[in-house]
Amino acid sequence: MNENNRENAQNSNAWPFLEARALVKSLNGQTLDKGYVLFETGYGPSGLPHIGTFGEVARTTMVRHAFHQLSDIPTKLFAFSDDMDGLRKVPENIPNKKMVEQHLGKPLTQIPDPFGTHESFGHHNNARLQAFLDDFGFEYEFKSSTEYYTNKKFDNMLLKVLVEYDKIISVVLPTLGQERRDTYSPFMPVCKKTGVVLQVPVIQQNVDDGTIVYEDIDGSKVETPVTGGHCKLQWKADWGMRWAELGVDYEMSGKDLIDSVKLSSKICQILGCKPPQNLTYELFLDDHGAKISKSKGNGLAVEEWLRYAPPESLSLFMYQKPKTAKRLYFDVIPRNVDDYLTHVEKYKAQDESKKMDSPVWHIHAGHPPNETAHLSYNILLNLASVCHTEDKAVLWHFIGRYRPGVTPENAPILDKLVEYAINYYRDFIRPAKQYRQASMVEKVALEDLVNTLKTLPANSDGADIQSKVYEVGKHHYFENLKDWFKALYEILLGQSEGPRMGSFIALYGLEETLTLLGRAIAGEDLRS
């Protein structure tokens, strides 16, 4: 590691470095028996892979990369799937719900795949998770709870849980309601007859034999080993046991799991191990301000975001203010795209000592692209909007005239942005357009704008045009110039907000803009 880079990493205030420095401090220079620092992200595959899952992996990866700048200790990232959990309810966003309902209570890896593509529902969702993590190029190792339980990788620690049964019970029970206290056990046996993961009272612990005895729903007494996949731990005990067995050093989690982290940390300590460092992040909200739920499917899927924007814009969304609740819906996409492009452009001119503070340094693991986008995403959206087109060639006609020499071949980022903009225009802007007619006062101002623009050279830049548009608004005594620009957006573009008019007119063309203004003054329908 370059010493200057390490010094910059030590001084950076970017949150991944704050997390990484705390992790380095917690290790206290000790040699780890396992030979590496372990980062973990957990995945509950009862629902389809969710954008929040991606966010956790992306953020954890950022902290991991920051750690590499501060320490020479090797690291690993485990993406751990809790696929041995018993399915408690049927997710809303899957096919063949009635079929799945017949298997409620069974481990996810023992439920037929409702999509018909994999050996089980758990395997299907695990494959989905790995597919989109792979698409983003994350470096991780996938781990399955089913594999660890059934292949005896947890056996030693499960026997330790049995030894410390009473201590674990003593920290868990105060967190439960009375009814749950009466039946709670950290062990959930897997019924030999039905395959269901049972939540039943344990009436006897046989430490020497490594077994428990529970009362079956038919009243019979059943003895079963706690090892070999015959039992599954309740998830908070499972989390603490997993941290202990794997030696997890860092794992972040959502605000809704604060109490669970505290409890699982106590269980990890009872098992003789140090719990991981944790970052608590805020939860994402949907368009109505409700918490996003995997089972309800009320948020955005990764695939949906990627239909309208580059993956780096999603990474930026995840990077920014992880401890602040944010709306995660379609309307946040354009701004995040443009914010990403701005950060990339600014990065080139930043002092070396400050580059590690830039979001794009963390998004691209220290190597942001050097390519220029040339145009903002929002201005492309407005170009598609005013042209009423979904044809890339039409948009490139205007772009080529505005930026001579720029082509789809030598500006691939821009070319991809054009595709994203067309998709977004088709699905969100065009259906929501609401043009209005200009008032008499506004028509007079528009006529003045026409006459003013006619005095400008054809190659006028955006700044010059913006100045003239501004002057016309002032001349016509708009109390607030924001009202003047809002009127232009509503009359010409069919929306309440829009681009910097000067830049847009320069891109669209003076002649084309004069034609558009003429149609608006004449009261024509601008929807086509």
Average pLDDT over residues 286-293: 71
Q: Does a structural domain hold residue 341?
A: no
Average pLDDT over residues 507-521: 94
Q: Are residues 119 and 248 in the same domain?
A: yes
| Residue 32, pLDDT score | 84
Instruction: Please give the distance of CA 388 from its chain centroid, rounded to a whole number.
Output: 31
Domain of residue 390: give its range.
377-432
| Residue 243 binned pLDDT confidence (cut-offs 50, 70, 90) | very high
Last residue of a domain, one of 432, 465, 495: 432
| Alpha carbon distances (Å) from 513 to 400, 453, 463, 506 | 17, 9, 16, 9
| Residue 44, pLDDT score | 84
Q: How far apart are CA 110 and CA 230, in angstroms?
A: 14
Name every residue whose Cβ is closer than 8 Å to that of residue 288 and which is 6 or more positions away in sequence.
none
Which CATH number goes with the domain that contains 503?
A: 1.10.10
Q: How far apart are CA 501 and CA 335, in angstroms?
A: 17
Locate 48 and state its tokens.
Answer: 């389809």
| Residue 297, pLDDT score | 58
Say if residue 119's pLDDT is above 80. Answer: yes
Q: Are residues 39 and 132 in the same domain?
A: yes
Model pLDDT for residues 321-379, shown as the tens digit of each residue: 999 998 888 999 999 999 999 999 999 899 988 999 999 999 999 999 988 888 999 99
Q: Are residues 160 and 241 in the same domain?
A: yes
Model pLDDT for residues 62-91, shown as the tens digit of each residue: 999 999 999 999 999 999 999 999 999 998
Model pLDDT for residues 449-504, shown as the tens digit of each residue: 999 999 999 889 999 999 999 999 988 877 788 889 999 999 999 988 888 899 99
Higher pLDDT, 3 or 313: 313
Model pLDDT for residues 94-115, shown as the tens digit of each residue: 899 999 999 999 999 999 999 9
Q: Are residues 425 and 492 in the same domain?
A: no
Q: Are residues 428 and 444 in the same domain?
A: no
Half-sphere exposure at residue 222, Cβ-oriented, CA atoms within 13 angstroms: 21
pTM of the model: 0.91
Q: Are residues 239 and 112 in the same domain?
A: yes
Three-state SS for 388-444 is: CCCCHHHHHHHHHHHCCCCCCCCCHHHHHHHHHHHHHHHHHHHHHCCCCCCCHHHHH
Q: How many residues does the chain have?
A: 528
Q: Are residues 479 and 502 in the same domain?
A: yes
* Percent of the chain surpassing pLDDT 70: 97
Q: Does a structural domain hold residue 286?
A: no
For the chain, the average pLDDT equals 92
Q: How far apart are CA 472 and CA 489, in angstroms?
A: 15
| Gap between the terminal Cα atoms of the chain | 59
Q: Are residues 11 and 141 in the same domain?
A: yes
Q: Does a structural domain hold residue 147?
A: yes
Q: Are residues 383 and 508 in the same domain?
A: no
Residue type, 34: K
Instruction: Tell me how many domains the chain contains.
Output: 3
Residue type, 11: N
At residue 44, what are phi and psi to the nearest 5 degrees? -95, 105
Say if residue 31's pLDDT is above 90. Answer: no
Model pLDDT for residues 377-405, shown as the tens digit of each residue: 999 999 999 998 899 999 999 999 999 99
Say if residue 1's pLDDT is above 60. Answer: no
Last residue of a domain, one of 387, 412, 432: 432
Which region, left, alpha or beta, applies to residue 142 given φ > 0 means left and ψ of -120 to 50 means alpha? beta
Q: Does a structural domain hold residue 41?
A: yes
Among 42, 43, 47, 45, CA closest to 295: 47
Average pLDDT over residues 123-143: 90
Q: Are residues 140 and 11 in the same domain?
A: yes
Q: How far apart are CA 142 and CA 126, in angstroms?
A: 9
Beta bridge partners of residue 225, listed in sequence order: 211
Let me know: does 447 contact 521? Beta carbons within 8 Å.
Answer: yes
Say if residue 267's pLDDT is above 80. Answer: yes
Q: How far apart are CA 234 and CA 187, in angstroms?
A: 6
Q: Are residues 151 and 245 in the same domain?
A: yes
| Residue 49, pLDDT score | 63
* Percent of the chain surpassing pLDDT 90: 77
| Residue 223, pLDDT score | 97
Q: Are residues 59 and 106 in the same domain?
A: yes
| Residue 481, pLDDT score | 85
Q: How far apart are CA 278 and CA 42, in angstroms?
A: 13
Q: How far apart are CA 48 and CA 304, in angstroms?
A: 13
Instruction: Please give the distance of CA 504 from its chain centroid, rounded to a whole number.
Output: 31
| Alpha carbon distances (Å) from 402 to 315, 337, 378, 396, 499 | 30, 21, 16, 10, 16
Q: How far apart are CA 474 and CA 380, in angstroms?
A: 28
Say if residue 8's pLDDT is above 70. Answer: yes
| Residue 431, pLDDT score | 92
Q: Does a structural domain hold residue 476?
A: yes
Let me know: does 179 contact 223? Beta carbons within 8 Å.
Answer: no
At residue 119, what are phi and psi to the nearest 5 degrees? -70, -20
Say if residue 294's pLDDT is above 60. Answer: no
Q: Does a structural domain hold residue 362?
A: no
Instruction: Please give the distance of CA 167 from its chain centroid, rounded to a whole number.
Output: 38
Which CATH number goes with the domain that contains 105?
A: 3.40.50.620
Q: Does a structural domain hold residue 351?
A: no
Q: Does a structural domain hold residue 182?
A: no
